[in-house]
Structures are given as structure tokens and as C-alpha cells.
Amino acid sequence: MTSRRNVEDAVLDAARACVEAFGIRRTTLTDVARRAGVSRPTVYRRWPDVTALVADLLTRELLALLDRADDSRGAGAGDGARTARERLTAQAEGLMREALRHPLFTRIIDHEPETMAVYAFQRLGTSQFAALDLLRSGIEDGQADGSIRQGDTEGMARVVLLSVQSLMTSRRLTEDVLDEDALVAEARRLLDGYLAPEEGR
């Protein structure tokens, strides 16, 4: 018997394929159900409309990126040559590169950026709270080893999150002067300077 999780993943996979191919406005729940090989009621019971489905899809994809970033931090945690600040900025760089090349995010940001507006201007979403957990932990590690300045970890985590998010979602505003490598390098410098102890600046 197919589990509910498998069905949800199949529907989300189908939704991703539809959005990448046609965009959000041209995707319907019927299209998604057909591509997923499930009945329309199966989709409608879980998601009342495409907006709700895309919100869950974005959350899944972003959480997957964050999981990989968390794994990379753990892999480097035993490296005595790297400070917590170096690990955190490297983590942010890796996450940013992945997001800039992600077909779903690229499609949405280039063609339907209004989808992301609520998370940029009005409220934090599930994936943003997960990112904040990761950032708080990294900042606390850096404050403990002296590589990150002292301060309110929650406030600092929010500033880092919103800075990286803004640079990623607004990348078309810099592409005439900065290619991807240069943009990511500038983001890393920005974060490194922001997090550095006063005497390290």
C-alpha cells in the first residue's frame, strides 16, 4: 500500500515539474494530479488550490537545501583550522550557490516573483524559521570561539537571513556588473564583515 508520505512526495514532484515547465499561473491541480498519477480528490483533500500546493513545494525544496547546508557544517565541525565564522559564511555561500542554480527558484524569481513577496515583506515561513535555527546555532558557536562578535543572536540571525535572501531574490539587479561567482563572493564578504569581532575588522 502506498503511504501518505509517498503520495505527497509524488504530488509535490509533479507540482515542481509543472511549475518549472509552465509557471505557477498556468499550473492547475488537475494537471498536477494527472502528472502524479493520482485522482483529483486526492490532491484537493490536501491542497485547496495551487497557491497552497506551491507554498508546500517551496518549503520542501528550501528545507532540503538547509539540510544539506547543516550536513556540510557538521562535516567541517572537526576542522580545527576553520573558525565557526568561516564555517557559517562557507555554509551561506554553498546555500546561495545552490539556490541560484535551482530550476524551481530560478523560474519563480524570474517570472513570478510576487509568489515570494509575502516571505520577503510580511511574515516568515517554515523554511525561514529552519534557516534561523541553523544561523543561531552557528552564531552561538562563533561567539563561543571568539570568531563572531557578541550580540543578540536572534537579531543577528535575522539580519544574515534577510541579507542573503535579498541578494538571492534580487540577483537580476546585479547581473550586469556581477556574475554568480562575484555576487556570492561579495555576499560572503558582507557576512564576514558583519559577523567579525570589532577588533577583527
Domains of the chain: 1-48 (1.10.10.60), 51-200 (1.10.357.10)
Among 65, 118, 62, 131, smallest CA distance to 94 is for 65
Mean pLDDT over residues 151-172, rounded? 94
How far, CA to CA in Å, does 120 sit from each of 14, 29, 116, 128? 26, 26, 6, 10
Q: For residue 140, count other CB atoms closer than 10 A to its CB.
A: 15
Q: What is the DSSP string of 132-173?
A: HHHHHHHHHHHHHHTSS--S-HHHHHHHHHHHHHHHHHTGGG
Kindly state the cell numbers that stand for 135: 544561523
- pLDDT tens figures, 100-145: 999 999 999 999 988 888 877 888 889 999 999 999 999 999 999 9
- Compute the distance between CA of residue 59 and CA of residue 54 in angstroms, rounded to an integer: 8
Q: What is the pTM of this model?
A: 0.84
| Cβ atoms of 193 and 201 closer than 8 Å | yes
Q: In the prediction, which pLDDT does 3 show?
A: 63
**Dihedral (CA of 75, 81, 85, 89) sign:** negative
Helix (H, G, I), strand (E, B) or coil at 37: coil
Residue 23's φ and ψ, nearest 5 degrees, are 90, 165
Residues 181 and 183: their CA atoms lie apart, in Å, by 6
To 10 degrees, what angle do helices 84-101 and 180-195 make?
150
Mean pLDDT of the chain: 90
Mean pLDDT on 47-73: 88
Model confidence at 1, pLDDT cuts 50, 70, 90, reads very low
Examine the pLDDT at 29 and tell me if it is beyond 70. Answer: yes
Candidates 173, 169, 154, 160; CA nearest to 91 is 160
